[in-house]
Amino acid sequence: MTAIESQSHLSPPKCCPICGGRLDYSGHEPSGHPVCADCGRPCYLDPKVCACVLIEDQGRVLLALRSEGRPEAGRWNLPGGFVDRGESVEAAAAREVREEVGLEVELGGLVGVFSYPDDPVVAIVYAARVKAGRLGPGGETDEVAWFEPAHIPWDLLAFQTTGDALKKYFAIG
Ligand SMILES: [Zn+2]
């Protein structure tokens, strides 16, 4: 099972969101989107937008260890998560940092927007610095730690985005 398949909210839907009919994935629609076998509407499978935050302090970056039961458990990632519909990406980034590591941050510039073929996730990564709060792991995090660039656990990162954002930010590789 891949990381994507293990995340049920990222699995392609079986039913039409409008009428509940069965979705036909046989590819008759030129766009490649499935079509409802009952009402005939195409179902647009949009990407999932993820807001992530690269928090730097004195040259070190904050990483969070994903807790048991989550996809990629036991691996390190940047604090972040999915943006809710109607929520600004910046607000989602700040909320996820608060929930996962207990800090209030001031967002800085955009590190980058990261997306990959056949991956439904589009990750928007901001740089940030700590404003307030008390550092500690939240509900979906087992541990939080600061890493010097030379000590980033490259083999234990959760996602391609995590490594690509860190390399871009610290101009590594
Ligand atoms: Zn339908």
What confidence tens digit (pLDDT) does each residue in 57-84 have?
999 999 999 998 888 999 999 999 999 9
pLDDT at 86 (0 to 100):
96
Q: What is the mean pLDDT of residues 122-128?
A: 98
- Whether the predicted pLDDT of 18 surpasses 90: yes
Find the 42 Cα to ligand 1 centroid distance in Å: 8
Q: What pTM does this model have? A: 0.87
Q: What is the mean pLDDT of residues 117-144?
A: 93
The sign one gets for the Cα dihedral 81, 136, 63, 131 is positive
Which residues are found with C-beta within 5 Å of the ion, ligand 1? 16, 18-19, 21, 36, 38-39
Residue count (the chain): 173
Residues 6+ apart with CB under 8 A from 59: 148, 149
Q: Give the three-class secondary structure for 135.
A: coil
pLDDT at 7 (0 to 100):
57
pLDDT at 24 (0 to 100):
92
Residues 7 and 139: their CA atoms lie apart, in Å, by 18
Q: Is 72 a catalytic residue?
A: no
CA–CA distances in Å: residue 130 to residues 55, 97, 107, 142, 150: 7, 10, 9, 20, 21
